């Protein structure tokens, strides 16, 4: 090997070592930077006609476990979804009131029952008559509070969807911009490792909005596919998704004939294909969970009105004075939205004696007429035995609480198992609604723990290990010194050759 070639080979080695030392220093400096991954600079030996010509430094590359990275994206989507569900359901749980303080629907139903029993012992007592009316008003107030909370949560879900769509569009534009730059840099033979770190950070943000699978191309491009099979376009200049503002009432629903707008992609409604993450959870809440919870509440409220009315006491009614028909479908029988508008009959509020005497005849039952016996108990016996019992007449069960055909489009199924009595149904509803929030809390804890575990594994596999980097730097410095000695030896040989020529 000639002296020139020896010098060139040693110089190329020094250049590679300098690049590797610079990368190790950068790795150590960024060890605490979120999203930064370990990088390495490899060398490629050069040769011509079997003659070695030194080495060439290649662009820096990341040390990333692609499968672990995808699992982490999925875990982040699940964690964000559970946290969103818990946050959205918490106000509804609070609206149900404190069970320990006797504020829930089940507790208020029991109180109404007790006040009716007390009135049965002294039917002419105006204080006890008024107590029954007050208990009924408190029960109606709780129905209103929960109904308002569910309706407000649906509106809030839509508002949050608007914000999520805007955030998702911004992240998709950022991924598109970075991808274009990555492709350009790859084509020029330059390192794209830092750019890929930045793109991964943007993809992590997208994963919290939607559960996505990221497919990497050899040209540096990526394809994003949602769990529902929707491919998200990457365009740095245009928003991919759109969603219109809307007011969400109890009767509103998303569907072909509904008034609730869906999320559009190029003019096509892709709402059903957007699953997981915060946005997927908000869609589920707005279009499924919350309408179903409201329908369960409406069905119970309608049951109160219908069962009391069937015994001759119109204690509860709608704004127009009508009572829902439990034998009809939820959407058409008057139950839709009833919990939010029900009231204690104005006639009963004005004249509490009607809770003793009744408001209208039913079958062979005739209300106690004005001036009738002060100790009349016929109505109270019917209400206590049948309106608050498991049967509407001896041997005749009440029409069961609806468990299917619920929601404003009649497509939802209740989680509350139908019970025989009003008290049992009310207690079951409170328990189920409270458990839904608790389930979300447990899911959030599990998903959060999984995210923590996967992040630790990812950091161990793809993050910067400072101790290892320092050891690598020591090795590189020793190699640098060895190359420097080679160059010094070549320099001495040059000097000796020149001296001999002189």
Mean pLDDT calculated for residue range 124-149: 98
Residue 388 has pLDDT above 70, yes or no: yes
pLDDT of residue 218: 87
Rounded Cα distance, 366 and 295, in Å: 34
Mean pLDDT calculated for residue range 234-256: 95
Residue 233 has pLDDT above 90, yes or no: yes
Rounded Cα distance, 363 and 78, in Å: 56
Instruction: Return the bridge partners of 224, or none.
Output: 214, 232
Q: What are the pLDDT digits (tens) for 37-84?
A: 766 777 666 655 566 655 666 676 777 888 999 999 999 999 999 999
Higher pLDDT, 417 or 4: 417
Q: Average pLDDT of the chain?
A: 89
Q: What are the tokens at 336?
A: 């839709």
Residue 473 has pLDDT above 60, yes or no: yes
Rounded Cα distance, 454 and 73, in Å: 10
pLDDT of residue 402: 94
Confidence of residue 461 (pLDDT cuts 50, 70, 90): confident
* Cα angle: 95, vertex 97, 102; to 5 degrees: 160
Residue 318 has pLDDT above 70, yes or no: yes
pLDDT of residue 37: 73
Residue 494 has pLDDT above 70, yes or no: no
Q: Which has the minimum average pLDDT: 10-14, 205-209, 367-371?
A: 10-14
Q: Is 152 helix (H, G, I), strand (E, B) or coil?
A: helix
Other C-beta atoms lying within 10 Å of the C-beta of residue 220: 20
Q: What are the pLDDT digits (tens) for 331-346?
A: 999 999 999 999 999 9
**Strands 39-40 vs 61-62: parallel, antiparallel or unpaired:** antiparallel
Contact 263, 165 (CB under 8 A): yes
Name, of 11-15, 44-48, 215-219, 468-472, the range with top average pLDDT: 215-219
Higher pLDDT, 40 or 318: 318
Confidence of residue 325 (pLDDT cuts 50, 70, 90): very high
Q: What is the pTM of this model?
A: 0.87
pLDDT of residue 162: 98
């Amino acid at each position: 090997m000639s002296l020139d070639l020896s010098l060139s080979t040693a110089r190329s080695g020094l250049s590679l070592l300098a690049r590797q030392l610079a990368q190790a220093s950068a790795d150590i400096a960024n060890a605490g930077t979120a999203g930064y991954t370990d990088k390495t600079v490899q060398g490629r030996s050069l040769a011509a006609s079997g003659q070695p010509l030194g080495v060439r430094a290649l662009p820096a590359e990341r040390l990333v476990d692609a499968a672990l990275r995808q699992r982490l994206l999925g875990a982040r989507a699940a964690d964000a979804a559970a946290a969103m569900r818990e946050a959205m359901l918490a106000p509804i749980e609070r609206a149900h009131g404190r069970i320990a303080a006797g504020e829930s629907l089940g507790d208020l139903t029991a109180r109404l029952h007790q006040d009716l029993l007390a009135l049965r012992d002294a039917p002419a007592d105006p204080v006890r008559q008024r107590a029954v009316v007050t208990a009924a008003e408190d029960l109606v107030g709780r129905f209103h509070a929960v109904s308002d909370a569910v309706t407000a949560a649906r509106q809030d879900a839509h508002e949050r969807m608007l914000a999520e769509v805007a955030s998702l569009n911004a992240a998709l534009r950022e991924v598109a911009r970075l991808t274009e730059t990555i492709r350009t840099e790859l084509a020029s033979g330059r390192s794209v490792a830092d750019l890929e770190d930045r793109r991964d950070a943007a993809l992590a943000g997208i994963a919290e909005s939607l559960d996505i699978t990221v497919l990497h191309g050899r040209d540096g491009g990526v394809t994003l596919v949602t769990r529902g099979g929707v491919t998200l376009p990457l365009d740095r200049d245009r928003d991919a998704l759109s969603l219109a503002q809307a007011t969400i009432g109890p009767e509103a629903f998303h569907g072909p004939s509904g008034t609730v707008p869906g999320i559009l992609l190029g003019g096509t409604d892709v709402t059903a294909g957007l699953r997981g993450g915060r946005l997927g959870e908000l869609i589920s809440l707005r279009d499924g969970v919350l309408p179903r919870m409201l329908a369960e509440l409406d069905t119970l409220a309608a049951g109160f009105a219908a069962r009391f009315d069937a015994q001759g006491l119109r204690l509860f009614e709608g704004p127009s004075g009508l009572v829902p028909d439990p034998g009809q479908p939820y959407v058409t029988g008057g139950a839709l939205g009833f919990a939010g508008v029900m009231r204690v009959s104005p006639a009963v509020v004005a004249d509490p004696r009607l809770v003793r005497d009744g408001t209208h005849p039913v079958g062979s039952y005739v209300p106690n007429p004005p001036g009738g016996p002060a100790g009349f108990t016929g109505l109270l016996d019917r209400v206590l035995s049948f309106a608050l019992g498991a049967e509407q007449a001896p041997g005749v069960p009440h029409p069961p609480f609806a468990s299917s055909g619920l929601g404003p489009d009649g497509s939802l199924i209740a989680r509350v198992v139908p019970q025989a009595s009003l008290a049992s149904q009310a207690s079951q509803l409170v328990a189920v609604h409270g458990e839904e929030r608790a389930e979300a809390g447990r899911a959030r804890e599990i998903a959060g723990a999984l995210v923590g575990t996967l992040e630790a594994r990812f950091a161990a596999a793809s993050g910067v290990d400072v101790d290892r980097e320092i050891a690598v730097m020591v090795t590189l410095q020793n190699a640098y010194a060895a190359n420097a000695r080679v160059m010094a030896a070549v320099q001495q040989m040059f000097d000796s050759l020149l001296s001999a020529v002189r």
